[in-house]
Amino acid sequence: MPSTSTLLLEREAGVLTLTLNRPDKLNAIHNEMAESLLDALNTAANDPAVRAIRLRGNGRAFCAGRDVSAAPTDKDLELVQAVSRAIVAHRCPVIAAVHGWTVGAGFEWTMNADIVFAADSAKFKLPEASLGVFVTGGLVATLPAAIGPMRAKALTLLGEPFDAAQALAWGLVYRCVPADELDAVSLAAARRIADLTPEVAREFKRVLNQIGLERFERAVVEETAVQRRLGQGDAGA
């Protein structure tokens, strides 16, 4: 799959780098971007030359969440949930490299990744409750699995921003690095994974997710039901 106006693709030595490319909108998610990302993930799932995937954002932020300039629709919800499922179920380990703001559905996508590297200047927020909407991306499973139920409730209900140091302390990211080193460090990690025997890497991911995220699919189904029950049909903030 070639690059699109909203998603840049770069391949080298078994690593596929997917770059969210709406820098003027802080890479806010709209349908075209979500569809491009989903297509790229699905295509890579059938390409044995791809052994690791890196997800990053272009410009000043990783992702500012859903683009709220348009009214939410059921399609928004379906696409964002489909991307989350594709990341978690993908045969390849997925590394997220985040910088700037990582908000709402953008943060939820990072929680679907297998390893997250963050720039030390990165900032995070889950504003859904204050906006009167519900979370997506299986966050009701991934977040408490990472930080426990009480902190998960605090982050989602209070919606307070937190920085990379706090994210590291809570286990939401694997490593914090200076912003100018993020690209090189995350690419080096992806290359190391790509050098592993593919079947070994795949089985580590599959079994760890199967045990550690056994309720992920149930979480996505319940989130979708709540979104529709509340009459929002959106994909989170």
In whole angstroms, give the CA distance from residue 214 to residue 57.
29
Convert the pLDDT of each residue in 191-210 to its tens digit. Answer: 999 999 999 999 999 999 99
DSSP 87: H
User: Does some domain include residue 127?
Assistant: yes
Residue 187 lies in a domain: no
Q: Which strand (E) or helix (H) includes residue 8?
A: strand 7-12
Return the pLDDT at 235. 40
> Which domain CATH number covers 208?
3.90.226.10
**Higher model confidence: residue 3 or residue 88?**
88
Confidence category of residue 68, pLDDT binned at 50, 70, 90: confident
Residue range 138-150: average pLDDT? 97
Residue 188 belongs to a domain: no
Residue 235 belongs to some domain of the structure: no
Task: Supply the pTM of this predicted model.
Answer: 0.94
Is-contact 36 68, C-beta < 8 A? no
Q: Are 27 and 7 in contact (CB under 8 A)?
A: no
Residue 9: its H or E element:
strand 7-12
- For residue 97, the enclosing domain spans 7-180+198-229
pLDDT more than 70, % of the chain: 97
Residue 191: inside a domain? no
Number of domains within the chain: 1
Q: What is the pLDDT of residues 19-58, one digit of tens each?
A: 999 999 999 999 999 999 999 999 999 999 999 999 999 9
Evaluate whether residue 12 is within a structural domain.
yes
Inside any domain, residue 71 = yes
Q: How confident is the model at residue 232 (pLDDT cuts 50, 70, 90)?
A: low
Residue 222 counted as domain residue: yes
| Token reading at 138 | 């299986």
In the predicted structure, residue 234 carries a pLDDT above the cut 60: no
